[in-house]
Chain A
């Protein structure tokens, strides 16, 4: 099975900072990648699908890029409400494996 590896596992940044999270697939998955935001006690929220397509209603400060094996989620200006754990997920063929998550906190 294809493994998904995220880095870093956690980060702390200031409000207004640019934040970048990376996700690497052990084999190429074209652009079949999604990014989720998960806050405690809430249902996970889809941010981006097809590697770079912003889901409806998601703030434009979130963006995604990449193809093949290397992908990036960028928050252009970190806001307090962005404190959460972020996950990537491959979604070409089954299994739709998630990365291990990146916890984002405010410094």
Chain B
């Protein structure tokens, strides 16, 4: 099970931060990747990036957000996080964390970028 937390409102130019707490699995599981995906009416579903452990930690990011996005695992709390910097209103979306391809998914967090 994945439980998301984080603010629903972020000001333009600030950093959007979300956390996904994992239960029933380990963020260090070397068989799965932990993803962030967002959904907006204008862009549909958009895969943002992932973190995974395979002898060491790896990250992959979508080109559209690569310069602004950081995904970090936190083994002490068994969770992973998303930080998206320099946000604009175009980053307004429902953000989801997911476990690999077959899930589960987090409950989703509507994040609005507005002053």
Contacts and interface: CB of A to CB of B under 8 A. Distances in A.
Interface of A: 1, 34, 36, 38, 43-44, 46, 49, 55, 85, 87, 89, 91, 94-101
A43 B108 contact: yes
Contacts, number: 50
- Size band of the interface chain B makes with A: 20 to 34
Interface stretch (B21-29, B76-84, B97-105): B97-105
Grouping DSSP codes into helix (H, G, I), strand (E, B) and loop, the A interface class, with mixed when no group exceeds half, is loop
B60 A46 contact: no
B60 A98 contact: no
21 contacts: A43-B96, A43-B105, A43-B106, A43-B108, A44-B37, A44-B96, A46-B103, A49-B102, A55-B102, A89-B45, A89-B47, A91-B101, A94-B49, A94-B61, A95-B47, A95-B49, A96-B47, A96-B50, A97-B47, A98-B46, A99-B44
